[in-house]
Structures are given as C-alpha cells and as structure tokens.
Chains A and B, each alone.
Chain A
Amino acid sequence: MSNSPAPLVLEHTPGLQHHFADMEQQRNASSLGMWIFLGTEIMFFGGMFLAYLVYRMWYFNEFAAGSRTLNLLVGAVNTAVLICSSLTVALSVRAAQLGKRTLLVTLLALTILFGLVFLGVKAYEWDEKFTEHHVPGYSFHFQPESPEKPVDQGHAQIFFSLYFAMTGMHALHMIIGVGIFSVITWMAWRGRFTPEYHTPVEIAGLYWHFVDIVWIYLFPLLYLIDRRPHG
C-alpha cells in the first residue's frame, strides 16, 4: 500500500472514476471487490475439494494407486514454476509502487512467461494421460502396479475424473490470468501506472496469488497421496 496522504488534490487525477470521492475510496473498493471475488472462488473450488475428500475416504486404494502414476518430477517442476511466478508478481507490485516502469514491464512479462511454461507442461502431462488410457470414458484402462492389489476400474476413473476436473479448472484460471496480465503489461508499457495509481496491478496480483495457492493445494492432494516405496 502506498501511503499517499492527500485525497484533496485528486480532482484531476487520471484514473479516478466519477462516482468515487477520492483515490483512496476507489482503491479500497477495488481491493475489497477482488477479495470478495476470491471468496467466491474458494467456494467454487470448494465443491471439487469436497468431492475429492469424500471419494478419497471411500476409495483410498485407487486414489493412492492413481496418484502414483502421476509424473512427480513434472508436477514438482510446475510447482516451482508457479512459485517463481508469484515472486515476480509480488516484485512487480513493488515496482509499480516505486514507479519503475521498465522493471515493472519486465517482471510482468516474466510472470506471463512462467504462466505459459506452466500451461505447456500441463498440456504435456494431459497428453501422457491419453496415451496411458487414463482419461475417463470408454477407452479407460488402469493397470495396477502389482497383480496382488486389484484396483476397481470405476473407482480409478473417479480419481482421474477429479484429476482432470481440478487441474482443468485450475488451468482455465491460469489462462484467464495470463489474459489479465497481458492487458496489465500493455497498460504498464503505455505508462498508465504511477506510484499514486496502480490498483490494477495490485488486484490482478491478488488473483494470480490465489490461483497459485490453489495449485499449492492441488499438488500434494493429487501427486503425493501415497509415495512410500511399495514392493
């Protein structure tokens, strides 16, 4: 938060909309709006987390077996990529507060790059699922790692259904995030942000951090259910 003290001079401030009294009111409203929207997002993902919880309790064996087939290395790399993108977002908000335009644009572009890398890796992982017949539907087939531990094909499909629904919804949010950051980068490039007015960078950053946090939960819940060595 920048602590600009003077709400009175702002009659001609660029970016102040007509229905707000001053910049502080406008910034507070935008920020509250984004926080509330993120609350609705928690409820949105919450529906899937609830389904995950129920079925993981019921069908733990299949969930653990399905989880072990996910590509741990690729998932971990993607987690690291997203954490890096959160860092660049946090630094870009700082750069906006300090009014460093070139740095701001660079950091925003890096964020988009990290986001695209994540999506590319995700596409590679999904593609693997098709060749392994792990996509729910008629051609689904799940081979248990050892014949002594039989796996219910239907229950395994539920694990992969949740995998696709959850990572799919997350990827959709990433795509939207990349779109938002493209607009923000363009605005930063045109010099639209000042130390006094950079609310769009802040609230877009809030959104990006939220999408990251969702992945921070998805990664252990999907990839790390049961990774003990099995013999």
Chain B
Amino acid sequence: MATAVSIAPEREHYLNKEYGIRSWLLTTDHKRIALLYLVSITFFFFIGGFFALLIRLELLTPAGDLVQADTYNKLFTMHGVIMVFFFLIPAVPAVLGNFLVPLMIGARDLAFPKINLLSWYCYIAGGILVLHAMLTGGLDTGWTFYTPFSTAFSNTAVVEAGLGIFINGFSSILTGLNFIVTIHRMRAPGLTWSRLPLFLWSHYATSVIMLLGTPVIAITLVLVVLERAFHLGIFDPTRGGDPLLFQHLFWFYSHPAVYIMILPSMGVVSEIVTCFSRKRIFGYYFVAMASIGIAVIGFFVWAHHMFVAGMSLYAALIFSILSYLVAVPSAIKVFNWTATLYKGSVSFSTPMLYVFGFIGLFTMGGLTGLFLAALGIDVHVTDTYFVVAHFHYIMVGGTVMGYLGGMHYWWPKISGRLYPEAWGRLAALIVFLGFNLTFFPQFILGYLGMPRRYWQYPPEFQVLNVLSTAGSTILAVGYLLPMVYFLWSMRYGELADDNPWDAAGLEWKTSSPPPTFNFDETPVVTWEAYNYDELPTPQEVHVEQ
C-alpha cells in the first residue's frame, strides 16, 4: 500500500480538478453529486437524530416532564419525516449509488448528468421547505399524515411540509430514472446482465420501486394539500370521503418505501461479503432475482398496515399471506450470504463487521415482521413499541448498517484515503451494542402493551425505557465516531492505492480517487462478477510486492 504515495499528489482526479463553490454547486459529475448528497443527508441525519434523542430523554421518566404533549407529537413527527424522506430513502442510492453505478458498469457518467444535479436541488428545495415548516409551527401529524387529522384538525404547517415532501419525491424519481436508463443503455462492452454486480441488481430493483411508488405518494400528498388549502373533499368523511382511501394510497408507496431503504443496503452487503470471504457469491441468480422478487411482491403487501383500520377479513387474510411471501426472497438473500461465508477466507475488517451486524439485525427485524403479518398477533401489538422496534431493526439495523458498511468499504475510492481501521472496528462495535440496547427493550415494552406516540407511560415500564434511552446515547457516540474519523482521514489518513481490499469489480480498476471521466479508456469485461477464485489473495499480493 505504501507504493501509492509517490505518484498520488500530482495526478488529476475528480476532487482536485476544479476548486471553488461553483465547481461543486454546478457540477454534473456523478461523483461530486454523490458527495453533495453525502453532506446534505448527513446534515439531515443529525437533525433527525437530535429529535430522536429528545424523544428518548422525554421517555426517561414516566411523567411527561421534559416537553409537553403537543411538543412531543411534533418531535416524533419531525424525527420520522426527516429520517424517512430525507435520510433513509436517499441514503444508499443517492450517495453510494450515484458514486458507484457508473463506475461499476464502466461508464463515464450517468445517462442524464444534468437531471442528476436537478435531483439534488429537488432534495434541497424539499428539505428547506420541511425545515422551514418545522421552525415555524412544526408538524404534528406523524410522518404518516393520516386524514382527517392532517386535513381538518392539525394546526401545524401541513401544507408546507407536504409540498416539501412532494418536491423531494422528484429527487427519488429522477435518481431512479437515471439508474434504470444507465444500467440499460450504458454498460461497458462484455458486461452482460448475468455479469452485473449484485449492487446494481439491487439498485435496479430499488429504482423500479421509486418510479412506480413515489408518484402515488406525490398525488396523495397533493390531494391532502388541496383539501387543506382549497377545501376539496376527497378524504373528508363529513362529505362522504373515505380516510381509508388515503391510507391505502399512502401505504401503497410507504410500504414499498421500506424496500427502497433496504434493497440498496442488501446490494452493499453482497459486495462486501464476497470481498471479505474471498469467494464468489453463493447463488448469484437467486440473490439477483430475490431483489426483483422483493420489488414486485413488495407492491402487494401494503394493507398489512391497516389490519385494525376496518378492512374486510378476506382482504386482510390475502394481505397477510402476501406479507409472508415477501419474506421468502429476503430469507434467500440471508441464507446465500451465510453460505458465501462457508469455507471462505473470512476477515473481520470494519465493513465486514457492519455486514455481520446487518445480517443479524435484519434477520431479527424480518422475523418480527412475520409476527406483525400474522393477523392475531398484529391485533395485540398494533401501534405499540413492538412495531417501533420492528421497523427500527429493519430501517436502522438494516439500512444504516449497510450504509455505514458501504461508506467504509468505498471510502478509499471516494476520498483516496484510508480510514483508521482500529477506530472503525470500535465504532462498528459501539453501533451494534448501542443499537440493540436501544431497540431490543422496545420489543418487550410493546409486547407488554406500551403504545407508541405517547409522551408519558405507567411507571412499571420505566426500567426498559431507561435501558432504551441509555442505548440511544451509546448509539449516538457510535454514529459520531465515523463522522469524526472520516473527516480526519481526508487530511491525515494514509493514502489509499487503487484497490486496497484487492476486490473484484470495475470500480476498483480505476484510480483512487477516480478521474473525472472515471476510466482512461472504456473497460472491456471478460469475467463473471466476484471472480475471487481467479484473483490473488491479499497475502499473495503482499509477497509479490
């Protein structure tokens, strides 16, 4: 690795090609746009996390003593809105996906670079509207905007926040559109669909969901805004409108949105698990098709959010069965990753630690999801902390673990520097412990009957709530650490060579950081994905040097 030092400083790459604010804000380089997204989603992540910590502080004691009930409603709403729409959904696709999709297929950029930049501006415009709504009156509808509360009763800035999310939706749509066209039309010669890295398969599936789902939430929020602002009555029960119709439309997007969050992280896991096992992925086609399967089945399970909302029992039965079915492709992935480890030459670098965290936590989240898909149990735990714990295991334990694993894995490519490995492993450990301490007690709380979205609770729930709050502070430390040492490494980190992990994949065949147009000449692919059996092991590489 030391050999890279002598040549690195002079070489022109995407980071040092131009300087100045204009070169960033008007860039059409997918790698720079990825970094714009990185900065902005990190900003929103810490805002959302700040609200989460306030929620946990309030719940430290049974009495509602830190904030008032109204403020508490605003806190969990703003936590949900920011984390779902401005962090979890864009996190992996907009940062890692933007950076890696063209690199992995040997293209010079995404198909529509200007539209890519436009998507970031949509994100920022939506974000500014939502932040402004939060500072001037807040929002107390929950991130779900259920009618008729959101249309007729809430005294908060529903219209502005709704418009902010609507505009932000275009950033999803434009990113998904860019990915699909790029993967279809711009693959390097020889890169057939069956040679495509699984990261791309999962981003393809994600993009399909973004494109088919996001417009539906867009029109739903438009109708809510029109109802609030111009007295249209489409969801208004006093005029015969049906609030359940709102819930159907909302969850038609918002359940698949969970797969928008988790599928890209699954792609990250597939990349990392092969690299640090030095093995081909077990069952390539099954993992690839499982992504597509999740995207397709994921569109037919939405009403499991509404089992107690007054649905016909027969409809509920069908949605229950379909919800069980979507677990099948998810389980296929988990089993295939585990089988990839078998007899692999496994090393425990930081990205791999996050992958282990992902597999364990995602399994927990997935299995408790089956509890919730079962009609009988769902009635018992609906709107309790059991649900809260379940979706945090998927969204934080799954998505964020994958995101952090991917950030560590590709950081040398993104920045040209190595992060400090010992700190990385320590942070991964802290995140894992802090996460479980925060959210595992919530399963028990929910099963015992503590409802979600209340600012006070009976005293017998206090011990578990104190555990959860303690865990959240540990988790916060775990999330702050990588930010600190990533920033530190940009200046002081050891210079990375082109392929510090000796990984397969086109993105490692260009320099670190890559030049503006990614490859000096268009690569020709003649190998299958993850051909680790044909690559030298890291030990052999060292002997040669």
Chain A contacts to B: CB under 8 angstroms: 17-21, 25, 28-29, 32-33, 36-37, 39-41, 43-48, 50-51, 54-55, 58-59, 136-138, 152-155, 157-158, 161-162, 164-165, 169
Contact of B240 (CB < 8 Å), options: A28, A36, A154, A164:
A154
Residues from chain A with a CB closer than 8 A to the CB of B178 are: 33
Q: Is B215 an interface residue (CB 8 A)?
A: yes
In the complex, which residue of chain B has the Cβ closest to the Cβ of A24?
Answer: B185
Q: Is B38 an interface residue (CB 8 A)?
A: no
- Smallest distance from the beta carbon of A220 to chain B beta carbons, Å? 20
Give Cα A51–Cα B111 distance, bound, in whole angstroms: 35
Residues from chain A with a CB closer than 8 A to the CB of B325 are: none
B185, A165: Cβ atoms under 8 Å? no
A40, B215: Cβ atoms under 8 Å? yes
> Is chain B's interface secondary structure helix, strand, loop, or mixed overall?
helix
- Smallest distance from the beta carbon of A230 to chain B beta carbons, Å? 23
A39, B185: Cβ atoms under 8 Å? no
Residues from chain B with a CB closer than 8 A to the CB of A47 are: 215-216, 219-220, 223, 249
Given contacts A32-B184, A48-B219, A157-B233, contact A37 B177 (CB under 8 A): yes
Residues from chain B with a CB closer than 8 A to the CB of A37 are: 173, 177
B108, A19: Cβ atoms under 8 Å? yes
B245, A18: Cβ atoms under 8 Å? no
From 210 to 268 in chain B, residues with beta carbon under 8 angstroms from any chain A beta carbon are 211-216, 218-220, 222-223, 226-227, 230-234, 236, 238-242, 245, 249
Give Cα A19–Cα B28 distance, bound, in whole angstroms: 11
Chain B contacts to A: CB under 8 angstroms: 107-113, 115, 173, 177-178, 180-182, 184-186, 211-216, 218-220, 222-223, 226-227, 230-234, 236, 238-242, 245, 249, 517, 522
- Smallest distance from the beta carbon of A182 to chain B beta carbons, Å? 19
A43, B212: Cβ atoms under 8 Å? yes
In the complex, which residue of chain B has the Cβ closest to the Cβ of A40?
Answer: B215
Contact of A44 (CB < 8 Å), options: B218, B236, B240, B522:
B218
A28, B185: Cβ atoms under 8 Å? yes
- Smallest distance from the beta carbon of B306 to chain A beta carbons, Å? 15
Contact of B181 (CB < 8 Å), options: A19, A29, A138, A162:
A29
Residues from chain A with a CB closer than 8 A to the CB of B214 are: 40
B239, A29: Cβ atoms under 8 Å? no
Contact of A154 (CB < 8 Å), options: B218, B219, B239:
B239
Give Cα A164–Cα B222 distance, bound, in whole angstroms: 12
Contact of B212 (CB < 8 Å), options: A39, A51, A155:
A39
Give Cα A208–Cα B241 distance, bound, in whole angstroms: 33
Give Cα A17–Cα B253 distance, bound, in whole angstroms: 35
